[in-house]
């Protein structure tokens, strides 16, 4: 049952995911969570590193799409600044946003990757949708009030998963699991 929370890969940061890694795995679209994955949850501004990563993906033909449970106004503001497509009100971990992305970009599930910092929303949702996933460490140690309970639950689930699968470790890139 808890395997539905298990990511395909665990990487320290979204910035360690490269176009070369993605192309090797035939990934053409990266769905990324917004808060604490792409930008800090309490700051709508992107860092220089974020801007460089997005530009590198675009130049390499990898489409980056924000998929967030936040309302349209919040996601639109950031997506416009970053010049990215977005799917607000995704209702993760439900499949709604993932199905919308797949239809909108006319891609197979194997061509899409979900990157997020929460196993209870991003990873579980991707797994239910049949999409590979990357769990990244949150940008900030703090969270919005509505995320704190999820973090408590996630800690329990992660401890269980790591105990059952010692290969679940933070890496510096996506790779094939042994």
Q: Where are the strands (E) in 93-156, listed by range? A: 112-116, 132-136
Q: How many alpha carbons fall within 13 Å on the CB side of residue 62? A: 25
Taking only the tens place, the pLDDT of each residue in 32-41 is: 999 889 987 6
Higher model confidence: residue 174 or residue 147?
Answer: 174
If DSSP codes are grouped into helix, strand and coil, which group holds residue 141?
coil
- Quote the pLDDT of residue 166: 84
Taking only the tens place, the pLDDT of each residue in 16-26 is: 999 999 999 99
Give the burial string for 144-161 (b: 16+ CB within 10 Å, else e). eeebeeebeebeebbeeb
CB 86 within 8 A of CB 76: yes
Could you give the CA distance from residue 69 to residue 97 in angstroms, rounded to a whole number?
Answer: 9
CB 35 within 8 A of CB 105: no
Task: Read off φ and ψ for residue 83, nearest 5 degrees.
Answer: 55, 50
State the pTM of this model.
Answer: 0.90
The mean per-residue pLDDT over the stretch 44-49 comes to 82
- Quote the pLDDT of residue 148: 65
H or E stretch covering 53: helix 48-59
Confidence of residue 178 (pLDDT cuts 50, 70, 90): very low
Taking only the tens place, the pLDDT of each residue in 110-155 is: 999 999 999 999 999 999 999 999 999 988 665 555 666 776 788 8
Could you give the CA distance from residue 73 to residue 86 in angstroms, rounded to a whole number?
Answer: 11
């Amino acid at each position: 049952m808890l395997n539905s929370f298990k990511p395909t890969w665990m990487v320290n940061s979204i910035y360690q995911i490269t176009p070369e890694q993605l192309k090797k795995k035939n990934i053409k679209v990266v769905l990324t969570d917004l808060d604490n994955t792409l930008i800090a949850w309490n700051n709508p501004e992107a860092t220089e590193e974020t801007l460089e990563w997005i530009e590198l993906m675009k130049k390499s033909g990898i489409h980056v799409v924000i998929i967030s449970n936040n309302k349209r106004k919040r996601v639109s503001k950031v997506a416009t600044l970053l010049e990215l497509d977005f799917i607000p009100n995704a209702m993760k971990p439900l499949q709604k946003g993932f199905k919308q992305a797949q239809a909108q970009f006319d891609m197979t599930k194997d061509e899409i990757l979900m990157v997020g910092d929460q196993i209870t929303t991003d990873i579980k949702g991707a797994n239910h949708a049949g999409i590979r996933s990357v769990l990244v460490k949150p940008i900030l140690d703090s969270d919005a009030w509505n995320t704190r309970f999820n973090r408590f639950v996630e800690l329990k689930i992660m401890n269980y998963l790591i105990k059952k699968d010692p290969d679940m470790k933070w890496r510096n890139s996506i790779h094939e699991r042994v």
